[in-house]
Amino acid sequence: MEQKIGKEIQLIRFPQGLPDENIFEIVNVNIPEPKEGEFLVRNIWMSVDPYMRGRMRSPEETKSYIDSFQLKKPLEGSCVGQIVESKNDLFKVGEYILGNYGWREYWISNGGDVMKIDSKIAPIQSFLGVLGMTGLTAYVGIVKIGKLNEGKDTVFISAASGAVGSIACQIAKIKGCHVVGCAGTEGKVDWLLDEIKLDYAFNYKTVGEHNLSSELKKACPEGIDLYFDNVGGKQLEAALDNMKSFGRIVLCGMISQYNLTHPLPGPSNLFLAITNRVRMQGFIVRDHYDMLNEFHSSMYKWISEGKIKWKETVIEGLEKAPKAFIGLFKGENFGKMLIKIGSEI
């Protein structure tokens, strides 16, 4: 049989600051035949996510919650593909598979680290976004870490038009809360107001760093019960200025910080966390897979009722994945950033 060749993207060195495309290399590799019990998946979609920047550090540089990517090896990340060859009776050619082997065209599995997905529930790429880790992150953050009080809380969400933020906004709205979001373009703000029906949304860039706190005061005159932080930095500081007593801050991501070569000072008003008895809590979605069933059943229902909308920014071609990844840090995504690697069988 002819040797199958596939492309994969490798990290060839760790970036300093904002990554550029030169740290990535696209490589042709031989694709082995699946052994007995294995099957071969051809990727259709892959996800790029801000958290991946945390894995692009040398193991010595910083302790991170997941291992560093290995140099000269294919990068990893969530992907959806289709089985094209199988020597495993439980996994049949044509079935759709969710795995963690993005950044490449083909991969082999024995079925132990994958999930079959049902294309009748929603478009298959949704399992990388609203129905995947992205959606679960929003759900866990709002419901479990943030302990949202249904029908009562005033909620602020930064990066509100992003993949996680936009779902978090809608969960909080479905649960009857007053929801305020911010984003970095007028188009995103309009979408938050017109489509997602947020109670208030603003463009943090035009408002300006020094006015974030007063803008939030305008948006939440009584204060914020729950801040879902995807950004860190000045937005966290402004939220701290406006927290209600016994408010909660869910620390989900700090995209403003990931590419800093020198750490920026943190919020100068942390003392307000004492005076207002604020709880700030960091979390990582993989600690909360026990909520996957609850999340799926809620989300399937909301989607079937038309209550959840989502945006995708789709980039065509595996070779564009590095550019798409870098674009995350420039706000080039609107909702979930996805790479379309190939077509279905």
Site for a copy of itself, rule CB under 8 A: 54, 63-65, 232, 236-237, 245, 251-254, 257, 263-271, 273-284, 287
Q: Which tokens go with 330?
A: 């420039």
Helices (H), 5-117: 52-55
Helices (H), 163-232: 163-174, 186-194, 204-207, 212-219
Is 236 exposed, middle or buried, given 0-12, 13-18 or 19+ CB atoms closer than 10 A? buried
Closer residue to a copy of itself, CB minimum distance, 130 or 254 = 254
Beta-bridge partner residues of 335: 162
The CA angle 235-267-169, to the nearest 5 degrees, is 30
Beta-bridge partner residues of 41: 83, 107
CB of 70 to a copy of itself, least distance (A): 19
CB of 280 to a copy of itself, least distance (A): 4
Q: How far is CA 120 from CA 149, 152, 183, 204, 304, in A?
A: 33, 35, 32, 38, 11
CB of 281 to a copy of itself, least distance (A): 4
CB of 250 to a copy of itself, least distance (A): 10
Closer residue to a copy of itself, CB minimum distance, 270 or 314 = 270
Closer residue to a copy of itself, CB minimum distance, 79 or 143 = 143
Nearest to 159 by CA among 126, 137, 127, 131: 137
CB of 286 to a copy of itself, least distance (A): 10
CB of 275 to a copy of itself, least distance (A): 4
Closer residue to a copy of itself, CB minimum distance, 186 or 287 = 287
CB of 139 to a copy of itself, least distance (A): 17
- Asked if 158 contacts 235 with a C-beta cutoff of 8 angstroms, the reply is yes
Token pair 């038309």: residue:
306
CB of 236 to a copy of itself, least distance (A): 7
Q: How many CB atoms lie within 10 A of CB 68?
A: 18
Closer residue to a copy of itself, CB minimum distance, 95 or 237 = 237
Q: Which tokens go with 114?
A: 């994958």
Closer residue to a copy of itself, CB minimum distance, 42 or 234 = 234
Which SS3 state, helix, strand or coil, does residue 203 take? strand
Q: How far is CA 54 from CA 68, 249, 340, in A?
A: 8, 21, 23
Token pair 């992907």: residue:
79
Angle between helices 212-219 and 233-241 (to 10 degrees): 50
Closer residue to a copy of itself, CB minimum distance, 84 or 273 = 273
Closer residue to a copy of itself, CB minimum distance, 53 or 173 = 53
